[in-house]
């Protein structure tokens, strides 16, 4: 099978009877990175049974690079019209046959023992309720130089055990640092294709809620490349954050029996903090458009907050429309300090 072109119709059946692995890389204008990412897969001590790259409508030389490499290595290159990273991943899974899904972004890389270590918990525990295994990862810059070793260890709860923690903080599970059971992935419907950001939080939250267990490996098995032009700092990401917030607000009404006011006390404060971080970055970068956008998003969150937070945030939003006003706001600090204190009030 040369793998250089396939239609969007084929859908091989999944199986849970083995531990075969498919590696899937979504590709969109990633010519600068894709060869390094592929090299990290080819260097694995445990090779995947399938290796798929999904060209999501690229307009650069990325697909040509993959096509060249596919002449020498067992790589299947698929093509589809542009639909975003979530759609590309879902498409790749639909074309694969393997029981375990190993995702990798075009600008990230695995360390050589990534797959070998990730599959061990699945070999140990034959219980099909083990839905995914994930690990810590190292943060690197655009040139691949180290920024943070083992980035996520103390930043969130690992492994995932409590809904309230999953809702109140970023899950900090990247697709590239995880290995997912295909049957679990399909049971929860795969990635939400409306999301181009927070699609990973959304997927793993749904896996958790469906009762699938998870195992955390407290060591870095991959590199996560983050820089100004990466998808995590794009307009699309910020819009996706608001879509995800609305989804959570709709799906998690207050649980009066347990005394959990999810929207007011958990979900809305989380996204205020996210938007305030975006706003501070926009001020530093003197990006007026992003300043206005962050202020607009904050205005949408205000009604969902406690009254203290509503007052503090409402007082600051009129001054957040430009980088110059933002610099004054950040320099004085008291208003933002009051907002954060109010957000922490339970």
Question: What is the model's pLDDT at position 339?
Answer: 56
CA distances for 84 relative to 35, 200, 205, 241, angstroms: 20, 13, 20, 15
The pairing of strands 130-140 and 146-148 is: antiparallel
Return phi, psi of residue 278, to 5°: -60, -40
Q: Is 156 exposed, middle or buried (0-12, 13-18, 19+ CB in 10 A)?
A: middle
pLDDT in tens, 209-262: 999 999 999 999 999 998 876 555 567 888 899 999 999 999 999 988 888 999
Cβ-proximal residues to 139 (8 Å cutoff; 6+ apart), any chain: 146, 147, 148, 151, 223, 224, 226
* C-alpha closest to that of 231 among 243, 223, 240, 244: 240
Question: What is the model's pLDDT at position 9?
Answer: 43
pLDDT in tens, 117-133: 999 999 997 777 999 99
Q: Which of 11-15, 61-65, 136-140, 199-203 comes out lowest in average pLDDT?
A: 11-15
Cβ-proximal residues to 6 (8 Å cutoff; 6+ apart), any chain: 76, 78, 79, 95
* Choice between 345 and 38, residue whose per-residue pLDDT is larger: 38
Question: What is the model's pLDDT at position 285?
Answer: 82
Q: Which of 83-97, 116-130, 190-204 comes out lowest in average pLDDT?
A: 116-130
Question: What is the model's pLDDT at position 152?
Answer: 92
CA–CA–CA angle 69, 75, 79 (5° rounding): 95
Residue 30 near residue 62 (C-beta atoms within 8 A): yes
* C-alpha closest to that of 221 among 135, 108, 156: 135
**Which helix (H) or strand (E) segment is 135 a member of?**
strand 130-140
Q: Which CATH architecture has domain 21-225?
A: Alpha-Beta Complex (3.90)
Does the pLDDT at position 7 exceed 80? no
Question: What is the model's pLDDT at position 15?
Answer: 43
Handedness of CA 310, 316, 319, 322 (dihedral sign): negative
Confidence of residue 286 (pLDDT cuts 50, 70, 90): confident
Average model confidence (pLDDT) for the chain?
A: 88
Q: Is 240 exposed, middle or buried (0-12, 13-18, 19+ CB in 10 A)?
A: buried
Confidence of residue 315 (pLDDT cuts 50, 70, 90): confident
Distance (Å, whole) CA 337 – CA 330: 10
Residue 90 near residue 161 (C-beta atoms within 8 A): no
Beta bridge partners of 138: 223
* C-alpha closest to that of 6 among 70, 102, 99: 70
Confidence of residue 83 (pLDDT cuts 50, 70, 90): very high
Percentage, residues of the chain above pLDDT 70: 88
């Amino acid at each position: 099978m040369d793998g250089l072109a396939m239609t969007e119709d084929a859908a091989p059946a999944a199986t849970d009877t083995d531990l075969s692995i498919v590696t899937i890389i979504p590709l969109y204008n990633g010519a600068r990175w894709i060869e390094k990412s592929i090299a990290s897969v080819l260097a694995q001590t445990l090779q995947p049974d399938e290796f798929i790259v999904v060209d999501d409508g690229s307009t650069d030389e990325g697909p040509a690079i993959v096509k060249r490499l596919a002449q020498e290595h067992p790589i299947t290159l698929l093509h589809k019209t542009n639909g975003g990273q979530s759609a590309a991943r879902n498409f790749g899974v639909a074309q694969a046959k393997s029981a375990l899904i190993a995702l990798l972004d075009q600008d990230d890389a695995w360390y050589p023992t990534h797959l070998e270590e990730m599959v061990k918990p699945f070999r140990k525990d034959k219980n099909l309720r083990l839905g995914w295994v994930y690990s810590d990862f190292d943060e690197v810059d655009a040139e691949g130089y180290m920024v943070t070793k083992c980035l996520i260890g103390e930043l969130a709860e690992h492994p995932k055990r409590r809904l309230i923690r999953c809702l109140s903080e970023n899950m900090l599970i990247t697709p590239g640092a995880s290995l997912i059971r295909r049957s679990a992935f399909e049971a929860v419907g795969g990635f939400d294709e409306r999301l181009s950001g927070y699609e990973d939080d959304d997927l793993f939250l749904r896996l958790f809620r469906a009762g699938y267990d998870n195992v955390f490996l407290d060591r870095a098995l991959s590199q996560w490349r983050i820089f100004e032009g990466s998808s995590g700092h794009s307009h699309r990401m910020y819009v996706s954050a608001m879509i995800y917030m609305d989804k959570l607000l709709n799906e998690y009404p207050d649980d009066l029996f347990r005394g959990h006011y999810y929207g007011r006390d958990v979900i809305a404060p989380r996204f205020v903090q996210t938007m305030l971080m975006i706003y501070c970055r926009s001020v530093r970068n003197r990006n007026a458009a992003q300043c206005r956008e962050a202020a607009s998003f904050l205005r949408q969150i205000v009604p969902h907050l406690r009254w203290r937070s509503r007052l503090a945030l409402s007082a600051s939003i009129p001054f957040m429309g430009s980088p110059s006003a933002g610099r004054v706001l950040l320099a004085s600090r008291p208003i933002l300090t009051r907002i954060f204190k109010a957000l922490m009030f339970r």
